[in-house]
């Protein structure tokens, strides 16, 4: 998900029937990107690629 897509999702979110959990997945380790993603209330977490099995287990359990 890129920033423009995330911004569009924020506009759409109030009309959704069900709650949606957003995890941003990126190869960027830039602290600015991490902080920007976490500034969005809609983003549950920022995951850096490659995603480890432990992270996926945490998300899905």
**39 in any annotated domain:** yes
**54 in any annotated domain:** yes
**32 in any annotated domain:** yes
- State the pLDDT at residue 2: 86
**36 in any annotated domain:** yes
Query: For the CA atoms of the chain, what is the radius of gyration?
Result: 12
Tokens 């911004």 sit on residue: 7
**14 in any annotated domain:** no
Domain span holding position 48: 3-9+20-60
**Of 28, 12, 29, nearest to 20 (Cα)?**
12
**50 in any annotated domain:** yes
Quote the number of domains for the chain.
Answer: 1
- What does the pLDDT look like over 2-61, one tens digit per residue? 899 999 999 999 999 999 999 999 999 999 999 999 999 999 999 999 999 999 999 998
């Amino acid at each position: 998900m890129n920033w423009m897509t995330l911004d569009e999702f924020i506009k759409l979110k109030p009309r959704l029937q069900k709650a949606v959990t957003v995890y941003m997945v990126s190869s960027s380790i830039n602290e600015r990107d991490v902080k920007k993603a976490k500034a969005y209330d809609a983003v549950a977490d920022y995951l850096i690629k490659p995603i480890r099995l432990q992270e996926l287990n945490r998300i899905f359990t």
